[in-house]
């Protein structure tokens, strides 16, 4: 019986790096964003249903994220249709991982864990966190989005204060060493709970 740990946080808080720390400690990690990339790639499970519903989203046999952004900007109903296709496929990908992963602790890296209700499937939730100023600096330093786009994403996500309050564990990502120490502590706690179960 594996322990399911949800890993979440807001954009730019170090979730990807933290997921790698869990993987380095022997956990099997499922990444929601990577699952969507697999589904959107040529031959991916989302391509055919997306082509049937939103043919303009397909480029070179794959779902194009830039095309999806354009479609969503023009059609208020498009996002609902996209989610109706993608969410069940992502859930199936996650179920497949859960059924085949060989580790005592399974980590589910899901940015919108609470927003989608996926926390109900977890035995516990860890939330990565950092102060707002560091978060903004990290995101804008990537050079992939404007300040306005960053603010737009923040508005769509549950406030970090609420995520922190709902999580079982917090991981402050101020330094790599501090984050690694907290991950080790969380795993020790979970493994101690598993050995007494």
pLDDT digits (tens, 9 = 90+) for 49-73: 999 999 999 999 999 999 998 998 8
Q: pTM of the prediction?
A: 0.90
Please give the average per-residue pLDDT across 5-24, as a whole number.
Answer: 95
> What are the Cα distances from residue 92, in Å, to 31, 45, 89, 97, 100?
13, 10, 5, 9, 12
Q: End of a domain among 80, 102, 124?
A: 102
77 shares its domain with 7: no
Which pLDDT belongs to residue 76?
81
44 shares its domain with 130: no
Which pLDDT belongs to residue 17?
94
49 shares its domain with 140: no
More confident residue, 73 or 38: 38
38 shares its domain with 110: no
Please give the average per-residue pLDDT across 8-30, as a whole number.
Answer: 95
Q: End of a domain among 102, 123, 138?
A: 102
Stated as kind and residue range, the H or E segment containing 169 is strand 169-172
Q: How does residue 106 score in pLDDT terms, banded at 50, 70 and 90?
A: very high
Structural contact between residues 179 and 25, judged by C-beta atoms closer than 8 angstroms = no
Structural contact between residues 11 and 160, judged by C-beta atoms closer than 8 angstroms = no
Q: End of a domain among 48, 67, 102?
A: 102
12 shares its domain with 77: no
162 shares its domain with 193: yes
Q: Radius of gyration over alpha carbons of the chain, in Å?
A: 18
77 shares its domain with 166: no
Domain that holds residue 68: 32-102
Which pLDDT belongs to residue 149?
87
Q: How does residue 145 score in pLDDT terms, banded at 50, 70 and 90?
A: confident
Q: For residue 154, is pLDDT > 90?
A: no
* Number of structural domains in the chain: 2
Which pLDDT belongs to residue 99?
94
Which pLDDT belongs to residue 157?
86
Q: What is the CATH number of the domain that holds 90?
A: 3.40.50.300
92 shares its domain with 140: no
49 shares its domain with 146: no
- DSSP bridge partners of 171: 128
Q: In whole angstroms, what is the distance from residue 78 CA to residue 67 CA?
A: 12
């Amino acid at each position: 019986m594996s322990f399911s740990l949800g890993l979440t946080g807001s954009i730019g808080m170090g979730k990807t790096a933290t997921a790698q720390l869990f993987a380095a400690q022997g956990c099997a990690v499922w990444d929601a964003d990577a699952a969507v990339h697999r589904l959107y790639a040529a031959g991916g499970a989302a391509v055919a249903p997306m082509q049937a519903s939103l043919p303009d989203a397909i480029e070179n046999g794959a779902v194009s994220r830039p095309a999806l952004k354009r479609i969503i900007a023009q059609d208020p109903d498009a996002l609902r249709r996209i989610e109706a296709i993608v969410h069940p496929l992502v859930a199936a990908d996650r179920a497949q991982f859960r059924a085949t992963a060989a580790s005592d602790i399974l980590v589910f890296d899901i940015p919108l864990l609470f927003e989608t209700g996926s926390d109900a499937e977890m035995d516990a939730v860890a939330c990565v966190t950092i102060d707002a100023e560091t978060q903004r600096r990290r995101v804008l330093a990537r050079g992939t989005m404007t300040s306005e786009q960053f603010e737009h994403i923040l508005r769509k996500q549950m406030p970090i204060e609420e995520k922190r309050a709902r999580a079982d564990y917090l991981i402050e990502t101020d330094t790599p060493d501090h984050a690694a120490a907290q991950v080790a502590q969380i795993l020790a706690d979970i493994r101690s709970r598993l050995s007494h179960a």
